[in-house]
C-alpha cells in the first residue's frame, strides 16, 4: 500500500529504464548514418549530382540542431513524455515518406521530418535522465547513454550497405520506419512523465529561459566543455581519412581498422564514467578526462616532431584522447543540465544545438585546412581540447559561486 505524502511533499518522478532511453536515443544517430552507403544509388535514382544528395546529411544535421533548441522549452512546459512520443511519431512518418519519395525535394523534406523527430527524442532522453537523477548520478547514466553515439554510427553503415545491396535504398527507409514503430510501442508502454512542475507556464516564460541559461556561468562553462570536446572528435572525423589515405598513402581499410580503436577508446571512457561518476563525482571525472586529452594531444605533437608520421603514431595517442572524451562528455552534459534543473529540457536543447553547431563548424574548417597542411588536424584538435579544459574550469568556478 502506498504511503500518503505529507502536505507540501511531491512524489519523485518515475525513473524509466536505461533500455527505453537508449532506444529513443538511438533513432537519431542510426538514421543519420544508415543512409550513407546508399547515396550513390540515390544520385542515380533521381538523376542528380552527388552534392545535392549530400544535403540529406547537411539538412539532417541542421534540422536536429534547430529542433533541439525548440523542443527543450516546449518539453519544460508540456512534459517530456508527449514530446518524446511526438518525436518518435515524426521520425516514423519521415521514414515512411522517404521510402516513397518521388524526387529529391520529397526526399530532403522526409529527411528533415525524420531529423526533427530523432533530434527531439535524443535531446529529451538526456533531460529525462536529469529529471530522475542527481547531478553525479546523471553523469553516470548519461555515460552509458552516450555509448549509443558510438555504437549506432558504427553499426548503421554496415546495416545500410547490406539492405541497399539486397533490397535497395527504399528498404533502408522502410527499416527505419519499422525501427521507429517498435520504439514508439515500447515508449508508449513504459515511458512515464518525468518533468518537474516548473515556472515555465507561458511562451514568455519559455523565451526568458534562454537568456537565463546563457547568462549562467555554470551552464555556459560546462556546455563549452561539452561542445569543444565533441568538436575535437568532429575535427578528427573530418580530417583523419584525408591524412591516412591521401597524405600517408594507405588504403581506406587501414583507416577503418584504426578508427575502430578510437571508437573503442571512447566507449571505454563512457563505461568508466558510467561506473565511477557517482562515486568520484562529476567534476573529478571531467577534470580527469580533459587532462587526459591534453596529455594525449601533447604526446601526439611530440611524436610528430620526433618520429615519422604513420597511422600508428597518429592513432595511438588519439585513442587515449578518445578515452578522455568519453570521461568528459557525460559529466559536462550533467553539469550543463544541472545548472538550472527546473529548465532541464531547455538546457538540453541549447547544449545539444551548440554542441552540434560547433562540431559542424569545426569539421568544415578542418576539412578545408587539412588539404593544405595535414598536421593542421592536430592543431585544430589541440585548440578544441584546450578550450574544453578552459570551459570546464570556467563552469566549475561559476557553479561554486
Report the alpha-carbon distance of residue 29 to residue 154 in Å, rounded: 10
Question: What's the average model confidence in pLDDT over 35-44?
Answer: 78
pLDDT at 29 over 50: yes
How does residue 4 score in pLDDT terms, banded at 50, 70 and 90?
A: very low
Which residue ranges form the domains of the chain, and what is each CATH number?
18-197 (1.20.1250.20), 207-400 (1.20.1250.20)
Q: What is the mean pLDDT of the chain?
A: 81
Q: For position 5, what pLDDT does the model report?
A: 41
Q: For position 389, what pLDDT does the model report?
A: 92
Task: State if pTM tops 0.85.
Answer: no
Q: For position 150, what pLDDT does the model report?
A: 67
Q: For position 7, what pLDDT does the model report?
A: 42
> Tens digits of per-residue pLDDT, 84-112?
999 999 999 999 999 999 998 999 999 99
Higher-confidence residue of 142 and 47: namely 47
How does residue 296 score in pLDDT terms, banded at 50, 70 and 90?
A: very high
Question: What's the average model confidence in pLDDT over 41-57?
Answer: 77
Higher-confidence residue of 18 and 345: namely 18
Q: For position 198, what pLDDT does the model report?
A: 54
Higher-confidence residue of 200 and 158: namely 158
> Tens digits of per-residue pLDDT, 105-131?
999 999 999 999 998 988 888 788 877
Classify each residue of 260-279 as buried b or exposed e, where b means 16 or more C-beta atoms within 10 Å of its C-beta. Answer: eebebbbbbbbbbbbebbbe
> Tens digits of per-residue pLDDT, 55-83?
777 788 788 888 887 887 788 778 888 99
Q: Name the most confidently modeled range: 43-47, 328-332, 380-384.
A: 380-384
Question: What's the average model confidence in pLDDT over 199-212?
Answer: 57
Amino acid at each position: 500500500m502506498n504511503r500518503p505524502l505529507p502536505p507540501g511533499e511531491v512524489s519523485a518522478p518515475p525513473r524509466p529504464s536505461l533500455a527505453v532511453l537508449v532506444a529513443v536515443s538511438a533513432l537519431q544517430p542510426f538514421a543519420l548514418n544508415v543512409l550513407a552507403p546508399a547515396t550513390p544509388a540515390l544520385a542515380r535514382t533521381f538523376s542528380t549530382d552527388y552534392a545535392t544528395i549530400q544535403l540529406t546529411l547537411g539538412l539532417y544535421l541542421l534540422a536536429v540542431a534547430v529542433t533541439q533548441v525548440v523542443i527543450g522549452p516546449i518539453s519544460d512546459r508540456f512534459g517530456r513524455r508527449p514530446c518524446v512520443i511526438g518525436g518518435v511519431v515524426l521520425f516514423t512518418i519521415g521514414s515512411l515518406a522517404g521510402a516513397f519519395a518521388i524526387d529529391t525535394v520529397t526526399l530532403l523534406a522526409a529527411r528533415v521530418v525524420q531529423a526533427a523527430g530523432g533530434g527531439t527524442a535524443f535531446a529529451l532522453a538526456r533531460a529525462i535522465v536529469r529529471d530522475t537523477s542527481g547531478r553525479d548520478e546523471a553523469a553516470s547514466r548519461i555515460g552509458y547513454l552516450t555509448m549509443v553515439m558510438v555504437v549506432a554510427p558504427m553499426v548503421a553503415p554496415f546495416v545500410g550497405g547490406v539492405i541497399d545491396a539486397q533490397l535497395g535504398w527504399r528498404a533502408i527507409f522502410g527499416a527505419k520506419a519499422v525501427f521507429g514503430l517498435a520504439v514508439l510501442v515500447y515508449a508508449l508502454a513504459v515511458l512515464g512523465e518525468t518533468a518537474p512542475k516548473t515556472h515555465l507556464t507561458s511562451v514568455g516564460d519559455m523565451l526568458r529561459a534562454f537568456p537565463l541559461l546563457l547568462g549562467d556561468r555554470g551552464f555556459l562553462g560546462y556546455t563549452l566543455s561539452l561542445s569543444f570536446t565533441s568538436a575535437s572528435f568532429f575535427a578528427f572525423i573530418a580530417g583523419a581519412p584525408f591524412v591516412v589515405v591521401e597524405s600517408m598513402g594507405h588504403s581506406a581499410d587501414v583507416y577503418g581498422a584504426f578508427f575502430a580503436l578510437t571508437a573503442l577508446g571512447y566507449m571505454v571512457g563512457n563505461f568508466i564514467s558510467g561506473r565511477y561518476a557517482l562515486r568520484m563525482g562529476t567534476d573529478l571525472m571531467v577534470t580527469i578526462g580533459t587532462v587526459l586529452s591534453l596529455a594525449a594531444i601533447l604526446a601526439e605533437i611530440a611524436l610528430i616532431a620526433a618520429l615519422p608520421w604513420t597511422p600508428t603514431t597518429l592513432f595511438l595517442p588519439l585513442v587515449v584522447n578518445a578515452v578522455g572524451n568519453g570521461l568528459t562528455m557525460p559529466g559536462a552534459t550533467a553539469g550543463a543540465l544541472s545548472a538550472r534543473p527546473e529548465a532541464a529540457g531547455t538546457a538540453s536543447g541549447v547544449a545539444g544545438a551548440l554542441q552540434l553547431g560547433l562540431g559542424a563548424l569545426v569539421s568544415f574548417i578542418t576539412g578545408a585546412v587539412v588539404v593544405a597542411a595535414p598536421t593542421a588536424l592536430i592543431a585544430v584538435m589541440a585548440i578544441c581540447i584546450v578550450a574544453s579544459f578552459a570551459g570546464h574550469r570556467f563552469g566549475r568556478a561559476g557553479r561554486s559561486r
